[in-house]
């Protein structure tokens, strides 16, 4: 019975390890560094294409930042694309970088996951872009860090040229998609690509909290959001079918993530409201919400018998720096009370309940009505990426160790075998027993304990993201089978 105790404790130990898995996030940079830029090297010329670098995700998590060393021309947008998880695109080494780097071969299909407009970039500088919408990735998945290059581009990104010795082509490779390859959810086949663009990405585990630039547009109060215990909409005659809205111009590239209006009291009489989000084409250069630059309805939502508090319409509408948007509210009938803020903002009104298009609104002057939208934007900062460019955590070192062994499941299993061999042999060595002649006659360590070491190690590697999450389930099943077999064997011995 004494020898069964380790097996009895193993399932409990497994559960403790699983629930105690680390939740603190880590970051890791993958790609070429600013120091690898060769002064005077020819920069990549991919006129009109969607070009950049494909990198391998070091663990399961999110891509949150992209760094790039720009040359003369500034890209207009950033595009993030993914290769199917569990597969690897074909690549070729390039003589242009002394066969130290390479590119993704033509005909490899990447799916666009995110497209964001860019502004505020600086020529001839290394800078980091914090994505407004981080992209989820899995361990060892190839991710394209791409840029929409203007049609007049003649050298837009610096290259490493003769300094591309690290990372290897198994981790990074230049990638180019055809012009226009920026529609989210669409797949595009790669084309020929010049090698060595100095680009990289910051990946974070799911326990990390990426930082965003958030802006409030409409009437948010000051500071945003500040509400008052008054309302100026009680006497508004919504029965005549009208819509009121605030117009605002975005100063960030990103996404409108919600439209919100604070309701001052609860309703049960059938009264309600409709929220709307309008946008003006970013190419319009004249007055917004006019026949020349109309506002088009992008999203709307009806709230009937709302309760006191914020009514929120969730959205995911992409906007660019300088683009005009409108946030609107339309009441069902008179008596709708909406909270005021502490600031006066110019309010506009149009006939109809949340019309599909706004071209000729009436100016109502400054009003206090609380109605606003939150925009989550990307940011551009100079210098190195915000996360650590190397390792500083056990999880990061493990990911690099597995990648050095080939990556993927095979790399993870190889890492397990090496670590298990090290720990197991060490335990056997320190617990060896000798006879009077000095010969090894056994070990003080029960052999079942080696099983526990193997189980703990595989759970640890899975929690670190270098082995698939289904591995713990397989381990639990095996240990449970061993435990029940041992108990059943013991039961048979006692009944004989």
Measured in residues, the chain has a length of: 496
23: pLDDT strictly greater than 50: no
Task: State the pLDDT at residue 401.
Answer: 72
Task: State the pLDDT at residue 3.
Answer: 43
Task: State the pLDDT at residue 200.
Answer: 94
The model carries a pTM of 0.66
Find tokens 């381990």 and name the residue: 475
Token digits of residue 129: 């872009």
Q: Specify the higher pLDDT residue, 50 or 434.
A: 50
Task: State the pLDDT at residue 396.
Answer: 62
- Rounded Cα gap, residues 158 and 138, in angstroms: 29
The residues facing 77 across adjacent strands are 117, 148
Distance of CA 43 to the CA centre of its chain: 29
Find tokens 């860090």 and name the residue: 145
pLDDT tens, residue by residue, 320-341 = 888 999 999 999 999 999 999 9
According to DSSP, the β-strands at 142-148 and 77-82 are antiparallel
Instruction: Give me the phi and psi of 406, to 5 degrees please.
Output: 115, -10
400: pLDDT strictly greater than 70: no
Extended strands (E) in 9-141: 27-31, 50-56, 61-69, 77-82, 91-93, 102-104, 109-117, 126-137
Q: Specify the higher pLDDT residue, 491 or 278.
A: 278
Please answer whether residues 406 and 418 qualify as being in contact, where contact means their C-beta atoms are separated by less than 8 angstroms. Answer: no
Tell me the pLDDT band of 453, cut-offs 50, 70 and 90. confident
425: pLDDT strictly greater than 80: yes
- Rounded Cα gap, residues 98 and 8, in angstroms: 58
For residue 315, the tally of other CB atoms under 10 A from its CB is 18
Task: State the pLDDT at residue 383.
Answer: 58
Mean pLDDT check: name the lowest of 13-17, 208-212, 356-360.
13-17
Please answer whether residues 277 and 251 qualify as being in contact, where contact means their C-beta atoms are separated by less than 8 angstroms. Answer: no
Q: Over 299-317, what HEC string results? A: EEEEEECCCCEEEEEEEEE
73: pLDDT strictly greater than 60: yes
Which contiguous run of DSSP H or E holds residue 7?
Answer: helix 5-19
Q: What is the mean pLDDT of residues 113-140?
A: 91
Mean pLDDT check: name the lowest of 19-23, 305-309, 415-419, 441-445.
19-23
DSSP 255-282: EEEEEEEEESS---SS-EEEEEEEEE-T
- Rounded Cα gap, residues 255 and 38, in angstroms: 36
302: pLDDT strictly greater than 90: yes
Task: State the pLDDT at residue 439.
Answer: 78
Which contiguous run of DSSP H or E holds residue 202?
Answer: strand 199-204
- Rounded Cα gap, residues 270 and 418, in angstroms: 68
pLDDT tens, residue by residue, 156-201 = 888 887 788 888 899 999 999 998 999 999 999 999 888 889 999 9
Tell me the pLDDT band of 309, cut-offs 50, 70 and 90. very high
473: pLDDT strictly greater than 90: no
| DSSP helix/strand/coil, 44 | strand
Q: What is the mean pLDDT of residues 374-378?
A: 88
9: pLDDT strictly greater than 50: no
Please answer whether residues 26 and 400 qualify as being in contact, where contact means their C-beta atoms are separated by less than 8 angstroms. Answer: no
For residue 154, the tally of other CB atoms under 10 A from its CB is 11
15: pLDDT strictly greater than 60: no
Task: State the pLDDT at residue 206.
Answer: 67
Tell me the pLDDT band of 7, cut-offs 50, 70 and 90. very low
Please answer whether residues 392 and 348 qualify as being in contact, where contact means their C-beta atoms are separated by less than 8 angstroms. Answer: no
496: pLDDT strictly greater than 80: no
Task: Tell me the pLDDT of the chain averaged across its residues.
Answer: 83
Task: State the pLDDT at residue 348.
Answer: 97
Q: What is the mean pLDDT of residues 301-320?
A: 94
Q: Specify the higher pLDDT residue, 162 or 288.
A: 288
Q: Specify the higher pLDDT residue, 88 or 207.
A: 88
Task: State the pLDDT at residue 387.
Answer: 40
265: pLDDT strictly greater than 50: yes
Task: State the pLDDT at residue 96.
Answer: 80
25: pLDDT strictly greater than 70: no
Task: State the pLDDT at residue 301.
Answer: 96
- Rounded Cα gap, residues 473 and 475, in angstroms: 5
Q: Give domain 213-379's CATH architecture.
A: Sandwich (2.60)
Environment class of residue 251 by beta-carbon count within 10 Å: exposed (0-12), middle (13-18) or buried (19+)?
middle
The CA-based angle 400-403-407, given to 5 degrees, is 145
Find tokens 């009264």 and name the residue: 271
Q: What is the mean pLDDT of residues 346-353?
A: 96
Find tokens 């995700």 and name the residue: 57
Task: State the pLDDT at residue 178.
Answer: 93
DSSP 367-399: EEE-EEEEEEE-EEEESS-SS-SS--SHHHHHH
Helix count (H) and strand count (E) of the chain? 5, 26
Task: State the pLDDT at residue 474.
Answer: 74
The contacts of residue 189 (CB under 8 Å, 6+ apart) are 106, 107, 108, 109, 177, 178
DSSP 336-354: --B-EEEEEEEEEEEESSS
207: pLDDT strictly greater than 70: no
Mean pLDDT check: name the lowest of 94-98, 171-175, 185-189, 488-492.
488-492
Task: Compute CA distances 258 → 9, 252, 356, 437, whole Å.
Answer: 50, 16, 19, 79
């Amino acid at each position: 019975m004494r020898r069964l105790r380790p097996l009895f404790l193993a399932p409990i130990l497994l559960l403790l390890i699983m629930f105690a898995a680390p939740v603190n996030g880590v970051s890791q940079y993958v790609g070429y560094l600013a120091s690898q830029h060769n002064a005077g090297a020819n920069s990549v010329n991919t006129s009109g294409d969607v070009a950049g670098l494909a990198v391998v995700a070091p663990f399961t998590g999110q891509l949150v930042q992209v760094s790039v060393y720009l040359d003369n021309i500034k890209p207009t947008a950033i595009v993030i694309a993914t290769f199917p998880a569990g597969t690897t695109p074909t690549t070729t080494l390039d003589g242009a970088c002394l066969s130290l780097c390479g590119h993704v071969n033509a005909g490899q299909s990447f799916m666009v996951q995110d497209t964001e407009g860019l502004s505020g970039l600086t020529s001839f500088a290394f800078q980091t872009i914090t994505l407004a919408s981080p992209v989820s990735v899995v361990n060892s998945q190839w991710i394209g860090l791409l840029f929409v290059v203007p049609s007049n581009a003649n050298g837009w990104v610096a290259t490493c040229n003769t300094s591309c010795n690290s990372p290897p082509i198994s981790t990074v490779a230049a990638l180019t998609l055809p012009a226009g390859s920026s529609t989210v959810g669409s797949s595009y086949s790669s084309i020929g690509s010049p090698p060595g663009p100095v680009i990289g990405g910051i990946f974070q585990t799911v326990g990390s909290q990426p930082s965003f630039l958030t802006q409030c547009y409409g009437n948010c109060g000051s500071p945003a959001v500040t509400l008052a215990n008054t309302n100026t909409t009680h006497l508004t005659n919504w029965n005549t079918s009208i819509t009121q809205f605030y117009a605002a111009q975005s100063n960030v590239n990103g996404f409108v993530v919600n439209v919100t209006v604070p309701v001052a009291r609860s309703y049960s009489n059938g009264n309600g409201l409709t929220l709307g989000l309008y946008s003006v084409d970013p190419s319009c250069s004249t007055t917004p919400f006019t026949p020349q630059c109309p506002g088009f309805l992008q999203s709307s939502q009806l709230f009937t018998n709302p309760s006191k508090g914020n009514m929120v319409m969730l959205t995911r509408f992409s906007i660019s720096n300088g683009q005009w948007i409108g946030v609107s509210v339309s009441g069902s009938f008179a008596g709708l009370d909406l909270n005021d803020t502490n600031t006066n903002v110019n309010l506009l009104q149009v006939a109809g309940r949340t019309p599909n298009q706004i071209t000729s609104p009436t100016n109502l002057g400054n009003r206090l009505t609380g109605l606003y939208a939150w925009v989550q934007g990307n940011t551009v900062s100079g210098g190195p990426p915000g996360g650590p460019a190397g390792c500083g955590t056990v999880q990061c070192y493990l990911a690099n160790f597995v990648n050095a062994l080939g990556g993927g499941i095979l790399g993870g299993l190889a890492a397990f075998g090496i670590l298990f061999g090290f720990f197991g042999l060490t335990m056997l060595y320190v617990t060896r027993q000798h006879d009077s002649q000095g010969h090894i006659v056994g070990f003080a360590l029960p052999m079942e304990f080696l099983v526990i070491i193997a189980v703990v190690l595989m759970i640890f590697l899975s929690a670190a993201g270098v082995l698939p999450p289904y591995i713990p389930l397989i381990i639990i099943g095996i240990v449970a089978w061993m435990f029940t077999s041992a108990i059943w064997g013991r039961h048979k011995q006692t009944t004989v």
